[in-house]
């Protein structure tokens, strides 16, 4: 045994002499107390222990983010400067989704990231995020994430069980090293990499390195929801692949042809904000939105005029629109762009309403030359995109409201073709190694490519993935991937702004990033992500890449002025040929929709689970779809007329057959769905997602059905030839609204009142009667039964305003609230029973013609009534008013009589029928397993976790109010307006929610309350809500007014 002094020199820190001596007792102690290294996943570790670990790890965190170099545990008694235990810190980072980064600001409590906000400085987000970013903390702590590399034949090969992840990584590395020597000999001929497309410059550099090292190797990119058509369209129209950017804040006329700018678009956060600005009814010109679409979308709901058409018909309509624009424009304006072949006519295009629609839209666009936007949806074929560019050019929008940046080299030009080519190569037998970085091609690859089968021809396959998913299970090696919140990386925002990803926590599950793995494959040595990212930054920043600049990057989260340069390309001469070469089939123009054996099927991105990658997120699974209000399922959306023609009943199973495959799916009769077209959402039916999304091997039923089985590489977006067979089997959908078929009495009731609950008028009405909303309901003077509370003594009087004119229904607030307030998930069965727990919900109703209704919606939180009816009936005084006018809820006093909810006219109170916070009765986590304890880490420590039998509701984020009040009081100053933001307000991309002190006349919320559009819902009950809604103002085209019926008939 060597001397202790020697050992002490080797170990910079130690805890006891026994450790230095490495006695067996100490070894055992280590095993017992830390089965894995302290920084790794804490199996069965208590929350207190976790905090100790995390707190301690901060003690060693460097200035750069929160990475620490060593694993030693030190008490917080020697805490670093500027850190107070329990006081959260915020770090800027970024989340990349489909190659687009959003800049985030992450709240971290003692080393534990709990809440995501948009980075207010980041030019793309400006403080808002989409719902996927909001839900990503849950993914970080998902107990179903894989914890160690897994070799398919692990049991056979190793014999003894070797669970040590580090050891397994070493095994993988040694196998890789053997492979590498083989590739070096063949220049990597047998090596293929299939990566999820990423805009990360570091990953691109790693790719270049890899291809340099192995020139014969190939690197493919694939993702099911690609923008390939858009790129091909811009190549055809403008000569090269461009990314189109719209400036909706400047556009006064917007036409979306199957484009969901405010919903599924990669830039939707930005567009929502800009569109909300342009929709200000008090501005000189208020924007007007026309939408022609194949599925009712968020954008369609915001439209002033909406026209449902099958996806395949949009081409014809776009051409008719183009022809009409050319006809109405000054010859001089359009001359330079040449003329297209004659536009299609006849059929549905000759129908009176369509003719009028096209004529008026064209007139409106021509009248606003250079101030309009025509957007084409990602699912439309390339020539329609080319047509879109042409129309924008004809209207003089390019350079005004439409700008272009060159599509970065990181975006694969045609992912579907790449993928098909890869599959062919794999089948050819020449390929011996395939490395899959992220993605889940076995699940979401086109059905006709036969990827899973082709994969079996490859000897050495490795899949880097956050979950051990379908693809991982088909590969030789599964490698755990580090979540973005625990890793280094970088990516570019939609406009190219270089955004850095920095870890908030040491990898929980031994994951590595795609960057690290690619660097390992390319260079054969393990490099830290930080090193690689910093190298990229040095190259990007050039001579400015000082330590200070690096720190500033980490502080800001992005590199200023790093966006791509905008270009104003001219239409390419060939664009006319590209468009004209597609001749529209006469049959498409037919007025009659296709029949039951040749329907159109439209594959759509899901608003909750995206392409299926978020299927294991219980927050997202339980998020009610904006349109259908469904949770935990996907359905076949069918129009009422088509359902009637085919004998389809709502909420019964139908069999959809397309190509060789059939799937059974519940039918959902969707108002505003075009006839003859069925829309299905991708991303469900996962068989190896996890305990939430489905894991067949472990007897967890998949959620919903998988439509990738019907999706082919030739028609990934929409196709004809869908056959529908009805079964009369009922299926109970888990919906948060319209749980049942509504009878005539109910329909009348809805018709009569929705106009009063959600008030809206036209711009014209607003100009003439700005206070139209306040005259929707008249009631006699209201007397209070007792003396009303006075707030003269109070420092603050909190209130909220929700501008219905801005809200798009994106649902981000719902998830933000869930993350902020520890709102539990209840599971499908409980949602069916009507026991969902969301504190903020979005009510939606339809109005008008069922074939093309208008949609009205309204986010509803607790209205924080001044004369709260809930308070008066609580026998134990568990809900009471505080001195600042908030309706408080004392959870630990509540005994659960539920009387308050009965007496709440808005029904915003939620009751814990079971121990939802512990997963009781919601089949969404493996409550048996100790692993699921890690889920508790996602909770906000500032908010009480509610137990069974307790009522809960929106508090206006009282914890945020208190935190800020404490700070302000310590600083002896009043709270400034805007200093407190509620979670829903902060995340809202369109900034529809304002919150603040109603006593301060200059506060934003007070101004909103003073708006003539402000009204209280159910004011006639004299409950005096603290939240006011601002009525929505629509801006219909007066020439199309006849179509936009003004009747207030509503139905669900």
Partner 1 sequence: MTTAIIRSDDTSVDDATQRAPLVTGEHDLASVTSVVSSVVEQPPTTTGWKIAITISSLLMLNLFGLLGYLIWTGVGVWGNMSPVMWGWPIVNFVFWIGIGHAGTLISAILFLFRQKWRTSINRAAEAMTIFAVMCAGLYPGVHIGRVWVFYWMFPIPNQMAMWPQFRSPLLWDVFAVGTYFTVSLLFWYMGMVPDLATLRDRATTRVRQMIYGIFALGWRGSNRQWHRYERAYLLLAALATPLVLSVHSVVSFDFAVSQLPGWHTTIFPPYFVAGAIFGGFAMVLFLMVPAREFFGLKDLVTMRHIENMNKILLATGMMVGYAYSVELFISWYSGSYYERFAFINRALGPYSWAYFSMIFCNVVSPQVFWFKWARTNVWVTWIVSILVTIGMWFERFVIIVTSLARDFLPANWGIFKPTWVDIMMFAGTFGLFLTFFLLFCRYLPMIAVAEIKGVMPHGPSTNGHGNGSVAAPQTASP
List residues binding partner 1 (CB under 8 A). 737-740, 742-743, 745-746, 749-750, 752-754, 757, 830, 833-836, 841, 843-845, 860, 869, 872-877, 893-899, 901-903, 905-907, 909-915, 920-921, 947-951, 1018, 1021, 1023, 1052
Which pair of tokens denotes residue 790?
Answer: 């006075």
Cβ closest to partner 1, residue 454 vs residue 842: 842
Q: How far is the CB of 302 from partner 1 (least distance, A)?
A: 19
Q: How far is the CB of 887 from partner 1 (least distance, A)?
A: 14
C-alpha 331, offset from chain centre: 44
Cβ closest to partner 1, residue 843 vs residue 977: 843
Q: How far is the CB of 813 from partner 1 (least distance, A)?
A: 16
Q: How far is the CB of 796 from partner 1 (least distance, A)?
A: 25
Of 640, 637, 639, which Cα lies nearest the Cα of 656? Answer: 637
Which pair of tokens denotes residue 308?
Answer: 């449902």
Q: How far apart are CA 94 and CA 503, in angstroms?
A: 10
Phi and psi for 384 in degrees, rounded to 5? -70, -35
Q: How far is the CB of 809 from partner 1 (least distance, A)?
A: 13
Cβ closest to partner 1, residue 12 vs residue 875: 875
Cβ closest to partner 1, residue 3 vs residue 892: 892
Taking CB atoms within 8 Å and a gap of at least 24, the contacts of 930-933 are 930/43, 930/44, 931/43, 931/143, 932/143, 933/44, 933/45, 933/143
Cβ closest to partner 1, residue 35 vs residue 746: 746
Q: How far is the CB of 747 from partner 1 (least distance, A)?
A: 9
Cβ closest to partner 1, residue 210 vs residue 904: 904
Cβ closest to partner 1, residue 999 vs residue 1052: 1052
Per DSSP, helices labelled H in 614-680 are 618-621, 640-646
Alpha-carbon separation of residue 392 from 266, 382, 386, 803 (angstroms): 20, 15, 10, 31
Q: How far is the CB of 858 from partner 1 (least distance, A)?
A: 8
Cβ closest to partner 1, residue 175 vs residue 915: 915
Helix/strand/coil for 499? strand
How many CA within 13 A on the CB side of residue 7?
14
Cβ closest to partner 1, residue 339 vs residue 893: 893
Q: How far is the CB of 729 from partner 1 (least distance, A)?
A: 19
Cβ closest to partner 1, residue 876 vs residue 1042: 876
Q: How far is the CB of 127 from partner 1 (least distance, A)?
A: 29
Q: How far apart are CA 891 and CA 893, in angstroms?
A: 5
Taking CB atoms within 8 Å and a gap of at least 24, the contacts of 48-54 are 50/112, 50/937, 51/110, 51/112, 53/111, 54/110, 54/111, 54/112, 54/505
Helix axes 201-213, 514-523, angle to 10 degrees: 20
Q: How far is the CB of 751 from partner 1 (least distance, A)?
A: 10
Counting Cβ atoms within 10 Å, is residue 392 exposed (0-12), middle (13-18) or buried (19+)? buried
Neighbouring residues of 931: CB distance < 8 A, sequence distance ≥ 6: 43, 143
Cβ closest to partner 1, residue 722 vs residue 825: 825
Q: How far apart are CA 612 and CA 224, in angstroms?
A: 10
Cβ closest to partner 1, residue 697 vs residue 745: 745
Cβ closest to partner 1, residue 230 vs residue 871: 871
Q: How far is the CB of 844 from partner 1 (least distance, A)?
A: 7
Q: How far is the CB of 901 from partner 1 (least distance, A)?
A: 5
**Pairing relation of β-strands 760-762 and 1032-1034?**
parallel
Q: Per DSSP, what are the bridge partners of residue 631?
A: 734
Alpha-carbon separation of residue 237 from 221, 229, 251, 376, 412 (angstroms): 24, 12, 22, 13, 18
Q: How far is the CB of 911 from partner 1 (least distance, A)?
A: 7
C-alpha 1013, offset from chain centre: 30
Beta carbons of 800 and 1006 less than 8 angstroms apart: no
Helix/strand/coil for 718? strand
Q: How far apart are CA 465 and CA 473, in angstroms?
A: 11
Q: Per DSSP, what are the bridge partners of residue 993?
A: 802
Which pair of tokens denotes residue 341?
Answer: 């072949």
Which pair of tokens denotes residue 640?
Answer: 């009422």
Cβ closest to partner 1, residue 142 vs residue 625: 625
Q: How far is the CB of 843 from partner 1 (least distance, A)?
A: 4
Beta carbons of 119 and 218 less than 8 angstroms apart: no
Beta carbons of 599 and 667 less than 8 angstroms apart: no
């Amino acid at each position: 045994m060597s001397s202790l002094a020697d050992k002490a020199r080797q170990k910079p820190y130690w805890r006891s002499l026994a450790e230095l001596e490495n006695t067996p007792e100490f070894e055992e102690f280590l095993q017992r107390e830390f089965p894995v290294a302290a920084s790794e996943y804490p199996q069965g570790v208590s929350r207190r222990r976790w905090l100790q670990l995390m707190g301690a790890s901060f003690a060693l965190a460097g200035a750069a983010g929160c990475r620490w170099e060593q694993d030693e545990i030190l008490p917080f008694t020697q805490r670093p400067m500027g850190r107070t235990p329990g006081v959260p810190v915020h770090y800027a980072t970024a989340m990349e989704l489909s190659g687009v980064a959003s800049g985030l600001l992450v709240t971290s409590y003692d080393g534990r990231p709990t809440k995501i906000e948009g980075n207010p400085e980041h030019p793309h987000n400006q403080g808002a995020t989409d719902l996927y970013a909001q839900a990503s903390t849950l993914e970080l702590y998902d107990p179903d994430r894989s914890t160690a590399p897994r070799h398919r034949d692990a049991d056979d090969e190793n014999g003894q069980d070797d669970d040590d992840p580090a050891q397994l990584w070493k095994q993988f590395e040694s196998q890789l090293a053997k492979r590498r020597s083989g590739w070096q000999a063949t220049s990597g001929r047998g090596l293929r990499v299939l990566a999820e497309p990423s805009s990360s410059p570091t990953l691109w550099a790693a790719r270049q390195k890899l291809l340099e090292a192995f020139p014969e190797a190939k690197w493919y990119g694939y993702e099911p929801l690609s923008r390939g058509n858009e790129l091909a369209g811009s190549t055809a129209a403008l000569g090269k692949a461009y990314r189109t950017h719209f400036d909706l804040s400047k556009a006064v006329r917007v036409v979306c042809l199957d484009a969901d700018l405010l919903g599924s678009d990669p830039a939707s956060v930005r567009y929502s904000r800009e569109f909300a600005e342009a929709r200000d009814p008090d501005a000189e010109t208020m924007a007007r939105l026309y939408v022609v679409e194949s599925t009712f979308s968020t954008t369609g709901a915001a439209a002033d005029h909406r026209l449902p058409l099958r996806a395949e018909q949009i081409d014809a309509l776009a051409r008719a629109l183009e022809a009409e624009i050319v006809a109405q424009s000054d010859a001089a304006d359009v001359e330079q762009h040449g003329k297209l072949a004659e536009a299609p006519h006849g059929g549905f295009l000759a129908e009176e309403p369509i003719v009028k629609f096209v004529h008026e839209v064209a007139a409106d666009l021509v009248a606003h030359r250079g101030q309009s936007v025509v957007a084409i949806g990602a699912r439309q074929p390339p020539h329609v995109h080319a047509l879109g560019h042409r129309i924008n050019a004809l209207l003089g929008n390019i350079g005004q409201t439409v700008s272009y940046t060159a599509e970065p080299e990181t975006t694969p030009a045609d992912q579907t073709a790449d993928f098909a080519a890869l599959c062919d190569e794999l089948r050819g037998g020449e390929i011996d190694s395939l490395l899959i970085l992220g993605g889940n091609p076995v699940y979401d690859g086109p059905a006709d490519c036969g990827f899973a089968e082709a994969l079996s021809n490859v000897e050495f396959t490795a899949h880097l993935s956050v979950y051990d998913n379908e693809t991982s299970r088909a590969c030789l090696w599964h490698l755990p991937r580090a979540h973005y919140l625990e890793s280094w990386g970088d990516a570019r925002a939609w406009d190219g702004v270089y955004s850095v990803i920095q870890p908030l926590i040491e990898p929980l599950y031994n994951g590595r990033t795609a960057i690290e793995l690619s660097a390992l494959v390319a260079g054969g040595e393990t490099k830290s992500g930080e090193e690689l990212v910093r190298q990229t930054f040095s190259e990007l920043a050039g001579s400015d890449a000082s330590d200070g600049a690096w720190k500033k990057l980490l502080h800001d989260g992005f590199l200023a002025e790093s966006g791509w340069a905008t270009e104003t390309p001219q239409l390419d001469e060939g664009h006319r040929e590209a468009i004209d070469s597609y001749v529209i089939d006469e049959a498409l123009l037919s007025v009659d929709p296709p029949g039951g054996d040749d329907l159109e099927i439209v594959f759509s991105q899901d608003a909750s689970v995206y392409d299926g990658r978020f299927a294991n997120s219980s927050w997202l699974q339980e998020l009610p779809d904006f349109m259908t209000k469904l949770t935990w399922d996907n359905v076949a959306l069918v129009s009422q007329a088509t359902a009637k023609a085919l004998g389809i009943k709502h909420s019964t199973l139908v069999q959809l057959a397309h190509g060789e495959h059939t799937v059974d799916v519940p039918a959902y009769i969707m108002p505003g769905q075009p006839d003859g077209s069925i829309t299905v959402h991708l991303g469900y039916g996962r068989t190896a997602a996890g305990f939430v999304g489905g894991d067949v091997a472990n007897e967890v039923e998949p959620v919903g059905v998988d439509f990738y089985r019907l999706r082919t590489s030739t028609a990934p977006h929409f196709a004809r030839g869908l056959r529908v067979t009805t079964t009369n089997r009922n299926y109970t959908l888990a919906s948060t609204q319209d749980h049942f078929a509504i009878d005539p009495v109910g329909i009348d009731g809805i018709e009569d009142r929705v106009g009063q609950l959600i008030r809206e008028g036209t711009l014209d009405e607003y100009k003439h009667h700005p206070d139209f909303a306040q005259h929707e309901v008249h009631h006699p003077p209201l007397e209070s039964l007792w003396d009303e509370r006075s707030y003269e003594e109070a420092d603050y009087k909190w209130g909220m305003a929700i501008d219905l004119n801005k809200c798009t229904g994106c649902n981000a607030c719902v998830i933000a609230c869930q993350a902020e307030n520890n709102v539990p998930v209840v599971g499908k069965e409980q949602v069916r029973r009507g026991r969902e727990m969301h504190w903020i919900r979005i009510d939606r109703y339809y109005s008008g013609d069922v074939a093309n209704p208008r949609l009205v919606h309204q986010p509803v939180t607790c209205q924080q009534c001044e004369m709260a009816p809930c308070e008066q009936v609580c026998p134990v005084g568990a809900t009471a008013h505080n001195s600042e006018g908030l309706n408080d809820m004392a959870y630990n006093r509540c005994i659960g009589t539920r009387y308050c909810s009965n007496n709440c006219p808005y029904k915003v109170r939620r009751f814990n029928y079971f121990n939802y916070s512990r997963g009781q009765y919601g089949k969404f986590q493996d409550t048996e397993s100790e692993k699921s304890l890690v889920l508790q880490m996602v909770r906000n420590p500032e908010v009480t976790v509610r137990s069974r039998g307790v009522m809960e509701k929106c508090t206006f984020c009282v914890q945020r109010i208190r935190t800020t009040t404490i700070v302000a009081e310590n600083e002896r100053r009043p709270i400034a307006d805007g200093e407190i933001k509620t979670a829903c307000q902060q995340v809202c991309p369109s900034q529809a929610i304002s919150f603040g002190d109603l006593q301060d006349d200059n506060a934003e919320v007070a101004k909103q309350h003073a708006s003539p559009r402000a009204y209280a819902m159910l004011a006639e009950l004299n409950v005096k809500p603290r939240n006011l809604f601002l009525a929505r103002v629509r801006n219909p085209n007066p020439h199309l007014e006849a179509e936009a019926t003004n009747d207030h008939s509503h139905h669900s």
